[in-house]
Structure 1
Amino acid sequence: MPRSPKPLPERLRGRAFRRDEAAEVSDARLRRGDLWSPARGVRLPVARDGADDILRARALLIPEGGAYSHTSAAHLHRIPLPHDRDGVAVVHVTTPRGTRARRGRGVVGHQRRLVPDDVVVLHGAPCTRLLRTFCDLADVLTFAELVAVGDWIVGRGATGVMPARILEAIGAAELAAGRRDLLRHVVARLNPLAESPKESELRVLLEDAGFAGLVCQHRVFDRGEFVARIDLAIPGLRVAIEYEGDHHRDQRQWRRDMQRRRRLEALGWIYIPVSQADLEDPSRVIADVAAASGREPERVAPNCRIEAAARGNGRACCPEPLERTGNSGQRSGGRATAASRRSP
């Protein structure tokens, strides 16, 4: 039976520590199974393997005055991110000018203007403040993903941030002209009623295809009785567009979805479910929404041009914003004919 590891010095127990903090501890002891290394030169109790534990441990290697930024800061702010850019597997660290940027395996270093007021400590680790983080994310997210982040920032109820404050932060940030234009176009497209990142990405996709009149979280009633709240709706044409993530595969959820869809269709709504596959190859869903609304979609997605210009640090083109309507809580009920659901 293997012997239990020798206890660590009390000051090192239960927390992350750098190798140079444990000069009296042998290399053999540091290799025992009760410790693991989330980064070279750092040890952490094996029971502490969560994302926040890892970021706190790796923060021990951040140079003085530096902080987590980009997706790593977004994780600490609890901003929803794409799964392949969680800010933990690969960390982003920004250091002030004049301080060597962090480099190494699993680390992306940035050297930019960074003053103490730009930094906050969250969950035990230093990171850039919320709006600075939003600006930095333009380096690593697509236009639609940035809109999803912005929707989350402005839609957090009492803690939501007004778009005007975001625009002030963009104006004050150290950004290339193309990135600044990109972010300003993002702010113009924000909607605080969006309830998930994929909903936001779907809305941007459809707006870029030329569909106007999209309403987030549209409530449908039948003779005063609440029927459903639709992710994205074109109320005048009774087109309901719903993003269905993996949680819709749950049997109980699936049954509720079926009942809800049946009721909407009985009231004359055209129901279009959308999945991640549709976001990756949107041609079919665009064609289906076009068929349901009786029109041809536009063929150019203007934000592709904005984004391409920004990525090249050039000045982005500025297309006119698409026509949009305000969010509506209007009641819709009764059965619609095909003609009433089509544009003239």
Structure 2
Amino acid sequence: MSPRRAAPIVHPNRAFSVGEAQRHGVSRQRLRAADFEKPFYGIRAATRPMSFLDDRCRDFLPRMPLGGVYSHVTAAGLYSMPLPSRLSGRTELHISVPSERRAVDAKGIIGHRTTLGHRDSDRRFGYLVTTPERTWCDLAAMLTLPELVAVGDKLIARRLPQCRKENLTGAVERHGPRRGVRNLRRAIDLLSDRAESPRESLLRVAIILAGLPAPTVNKSVFDASGRFLGRLDLSYPHLKLSMEYQGDHHRTDRVQWQRDIARTRALQAAGWTELQFTQADLDNPAGFIAQLRFILARLTH
């Protein structure tokens, strides 16, 4: 009597290697069927209507090398860190391995060799990912100083923080003399746990790097009778000067647009001057910096 064949894998709830499938008796012809995807070489997964980052990370696990950990842009995506479009739009997975091992070399993978301490990764997603602190340090080689601050602000934000500023400081100290460490050290002093949007952070850093006074972040303002007027993105309270970043939703959302106008009017009635900024100002900050410098000089003399 011939030995009983193992039941074939038809639609497993995880990705699997071709070798694993063949050991279960699945033929090569079956593995070429349309109901299986080929996310990476030598790997199959049940076809999905949409593929998310977590799905792609799980798909590669059958080929993940010993000591491998998702890092850099991939880890940032898993933590929902605000990356610039030049990075957030990429689909490759970043995988780091200990420096004594060979970097992963596969289609759709960007491999890194690095030193990983026991505090640099965890399994909060069900597989190894660099911690938010270590991820922030790794991103320093890819981001500008303002972009790095925007990510750091998001990590320590009072609303749903993922770590504390002290954790980031400790990670920078452990990071050592690697590429981007100078910006990391500068970024630590520029972080604010009161920031509520990446664009707001970019605007604040542009102002500070231009040598202008650091504005107050998200200050709540009330009129003389104690009525709440609003929470200002950035401001110089002693000058009653506020600065607001206006994203596209402020223009396209009718209710938001009407609310913005009413708030601006209320601030003006209370003696405030409001300056509004858009993405165009962030793309070319020299223009608005010159104007802001002139306004500050006028208000202080």
TM-score, normalised by the number of residues in structure 2: 0.87
How far apart are residue 284 of structure 1 and its match? 2.4
Distance 1:226 1:271, change over 3 A: same
Match of 1:93 in 2: 95
User: Which of structures 1 and 2 has the larger relative contact order (alpha carbons within 8 angstroms, sep 6+)?
Assistant: 1
The letter of the residue matching 1:281 is: N
Q: Which runs of 5+ in 2 are unaligned?
A: 1-6
Q: Within the alignment, does 1:285 sit opposite 2:288 as a pair?
A: yes
Match of 1:147 in 2: 149
How far apart are residue 51 of structure 1 and its match? 1.9
The letter of the residue matching 2:152 is: G
The letter of the residue matching 1:62 is: M
Q: Is the 8 A contact 1:230 1:242 kept in 2?
A: yes
Match of 2:36 in 1: 35
Give the number of equivalent residue pairs.
290
Match of 1:264 in 2: 267
Q: Within the alignment, does 1:198 sit opposite 2:199 as a pair?
A: yes
Q: Is the 8 A contact 2:11 2:46 kept in 1?
A: no
How far apart are residue 58 of structure 1 and its match? 2.3
Structure 2 counterparts to residues 215-234 of structure 1, below 5 A: 215-223=216-224, 224-234=226-236
The C-alpha deviation readout for 1:19-72, integer Å capped at 9, x for no partner, is 222113334433333222222222222225122111221233321101011111
Match of 1:254 in 2: 257
How far apart are residue 117 of structure 1 and its match? 4.4
The C-alpha deviation readout for 1:289-341, integer Å capped at 9, x for no partner, is 2233236xxxxxxxxxxxxxxxxxxxxxxxxxxxxxxxxxxxxxxxxxxxxxx
Structure 2 counterparts to residues 324-339 of structure 1, below 5 A: none
Partner Cα separation in structure 1 for residue 11 and residue 289 of structure 2: 57
How far apart are residue 215 of structure 1 and its match? 0.5
Q: Secondary structure at the match of 1:39?
A: coil
Q: Is the 8 A contact 1:96 1:115 kept in 2?
A: no
Work out the percentage of aligned pairs sharing the same amino acid. Answer: 37
The C-alpha deviation readout for 1:230-250, integer Å capped at 9, x for no partner, is 101112222221112232222
TM-score, normalised by the number of residues in structure 1: 0.77
Match of 1:331 in 2: none
Q: Secondary structure at the match of 1:110?
A: strand
Partner Cα separation in structure 1 for residue 189 and residue 107 of structure 2: 37
The letter of the residue matching 1:82 is: P
Structure 2 counterparts to residues 1-344 of structure 1, below 5 A: 9-10=8-9, 13-23=12-22, 24-47=25-48, 49-86=51-88, 89-157=91-159, 159=161, 161-176=163-178, 179-223=180-224, 224-248=226-250, 249-294=252-297, 342-344=299-301
How far apart are residue 123 of structure 1 and its match? 2.4
Q: Is the 8 A contact 1:245 1:276 kept in 2?
A: yes
Q: Is the 8 A contact 1:120 1:127 kept in 2?
A: yes
